[in-house]
Amino acid sequence: MVSYFPYIFLFLSVSFKGFALSNEAAQIACNQLASTLGTTLIENSTGPDFNNTVSAPRNLFNTQINFSPACIVLAQEASDVQVAMKTIFQHEVDYAVLAGGHSANEGWDNVNGGILISFERMDQVSYDPQRDTITIQPGVRWGPAAVALEPQGVAPVGGRVDDVGTGLLLGGGLSFLSQAHGFSADNFVELDVVLVNGSMVTATAVNEYADLFRALKGGANRFGIVTRYEVQAIHTGKSEEKTWFGGSITYPEDSFEDLARAISHFVHDNVDPRAVHLSNFARVGLTTTATATLFYNGSTLPQDIFGEFLSIPSLSSNLTSLSYLDIALALAGTSPLGQGTLLGAKALIGGSSSSDDSTDQLYLNTLHLWKNLSDSFSPSEIAISTLDFTPVPISQISYGRPESGRGGNAIDPPLVGYNQIVIGNILPVGVKVVSEEIEDAVRLFLEQAPSSPGIPLFINECDSNQEVFATYGGYDFLKATYAKYDPTRFNIRHTNGPIGL
């Protein structure tokens, strides 16, 4: 009988030695940073802000329960990030960047044994009326940004949930303004970027870093650390200006199939960029309902656009006149904190309301698969299970095309309306480990749920195993640009993020 014990011992010895060397390098780097930047910016586990910072991510799996950095960098200005990255690069240390902390993927906004760069102290937003642009620091969240800018009657094309941060921009970003103004990232004007070696560049659509500028519109955390976003200001009005109409309608299970068909039809039929829609199916505890969030930049919801949603039997509605600030804060408090979260993304084109029953069936199949998944687990296993549909209409896609003069984006969808579909499963409070049964069920849903060929997935709400970049129209461009700006593949070797580059 052959004994494998010596080989196992050798493997473990090498593994633990490598782990020790990695930790040793991180500690050397932390000590160097503390000497360079000072202990008010660099903290280890005994620092006053350490625990709050590593506990900040929304997903329980990314908090101090599973992750303990060797130290954190509490950056106050871009030069702090440069010094941190130069040191990280010099010592070959694992790292992560924490902005809003909304990533559902384990290790994307925290790091175990490496260096965590936090932007909690860089949270300023300002409006420049001369340039008609908004400058955003990377620690900004969209709700406070909307409130701060409301007195000047402007807003960025940011996120839809108030506590989401600027990481959304690097994934493209979906906003209640997107139908008229493209992906959130399509509104970039200028970006300050710290590359993996610590050097700083400023990228625009027309300068020597135009390729980096485009890659950062969908490239997530792979291309550098953005320390300043300058984005186009959208003139949305002040809080007393009720220039929008809408709200939400809640539906019972008996109406689910009718709502799925309406979702399919909306993205195919609607050509008015003032019309906004988001639908969510949710099982919370033992209760399953669906909600359509409907907004229109006008005095009412036009019947020819929203009539199908309005005619479906419902449980309740709260439609009224609204300001844009009302809309920006409409989903406040809907993002559970401190619970383990699993997400996954799909995408489907929409079907004509008059003739495309086959496409409608894809939406119904997606709904039925999700319903089977949500029903298969008790509330003690999955506390909240959701299925979300966000339309990406042709008006939104056209806004970000290269011919628009905004530099294009890496996502580069075809000119066809489609829905971004996100499945979410939130575990009960305090549950720190995902069971194999849940992981297998989510994986099976992502394998079986329909998707439309050539339609890109949404990286901000994907599963870490999904090859989202490969679905982009700009995939080859993205790979070439990554090779140019990170020739040693330092980012991929030392930080977690999307696969496929």
Token reading at 83: 């010094």
| Alpha-carbon span 59 to 253, nearest angstrom | 29
* pLDDT reported for residue 18: 42
193 CB neighbour count, 10 Å cutoff = 22
Is pLDDT at 10 greater than 80 in this prediction? no
* pLDDT reported for residue 17: 39
* pLDDT reported for residue 7: 32
* pLDDT reported for residue 355: 65
- Are the C-beta atoms of residues 215 and 477 closer than 8 Å to each other? yes
* pLDDT reported for residue 209: 98
* pLDDT reported for residue 351: 87
Average pLDDT of the chain is 93
Identify the CATH number of the domain defined by range 244-476: 3.40.462.20
Q: Which residues pair with residue 380 across a beta bridge?
A: none
Q: Tell me if residue 96 falls in helix, strand or coil.
A: strand
* Range from 393-402, 430-439, 453-462, 492-501 carrying the lowest mean pLDDT: 430-439
Is pLDDT at 167 greater than 90 in this prediction? yes
pLDDT-above-90 percentage for the chain: 88
pLDDT-based confidence at residue 39 (cuts at 50, 70, 90): very high
* pLDDT reported for residue 353: 78
Q: At what angle do helices 436-448 and 357-375 cross, to 10 degrees?
A: 180
Q: Tell me if residue 270 falls in helix, strand or coil.
A: coil
3-state secondary structure 142-204: HHHHHHHHHHHCEECCCCCCCCCECHHHHCCCCCCCHHHHCCHHHHEEEEEEECCCCCEEEEC
Q: Tell me if residue 347 falls in helix, strand or coil.
A: strand
Is pLDDT at 278 greater than 90 in this prediction? yes
Token reading at 409: 């984006």
According to DSSP, the β-strands at 115-118 and 71-74 are parallel
Fold of 15-118: 3.30.43
286 CB neighbour count, 10 Å cutoff = 7
Residue whose C-alpha is closest to residue 293's, from 278, 273, 303, 308: 278
- Are the C-beta atoms of residues 385 and 359 closer than 8 Å to each other? no
Which whole number is the average pLDDT over 70-92? 98
pTM of structure: 0.93
Lateral strand order in the sheet of 125-128 = 125-128, 133-136, 225-232, 188-194, 200-203
| Alpha-carbon span 212 to 231, nearest angstrom | 16
Q: Tell me if residue 487 falls in helix, strand or coil.
A: coil
| Alpha-carbon span 137 to 313, nearest angstrom | 44
Q: Which residue ranges make up each domain of the chain? A: 15-118, 125-238+478-494, 244-476
123 CB neighbour count, 10 Å cutoff = 18
- The single residue listed with the structure tokens 């890659």 is 215
* pLDDT reported for residue 22: 62
57-67: per-residue pLDDT in tens?
A: 988 988 878 78
pLDDT-based confidence at residue 454 (cuts at 50, 70, 90): very high
Is pLDDT at 16 greater than 70 in this prediction? no
3-state secondary structure 228-250: EEEEECEECCCCCCCCEEEEEEE
* pLDDT reported for residue 223: 98
* pLDDT reported for residue 6: 35
Is pLDDT at 4 greater than 60 in this prediction? no
11 CB neighbour count, 10 Å cutoff = 11
SS3 content of the chain, % helix, strand, coil (to 5): 35, 20, 40
194-246: per-residue pLDDT in tens?
A: 999 999 999 999 999 999 999 999 999 999 999 999 999 999 999 999 999 99
Amino acid at 365: N
- Are the C-beta atoms of residues 58 and 122 closer than 8 Å to each other? no
Residue 407 — φ and ψ, nearest 5°? 95, -5
- Are the C-beta atoms of residues 227 and 192 closer than 8 Å to each other? yes
Identify the CATH number of the domain defined by range 125-238+478-494: 3.30.465.10
| Alpha-carbon span 109 to 94, nearest angstrom | 12
| Alpha-carbon span 304 to 293, nearest angstrom | 17
| Alpha-carbon span 62 to 338, nearest angstrom | 9
Q: Is the dihedral of CA 455, 349, 458, 391 positive or negative?
A: positive
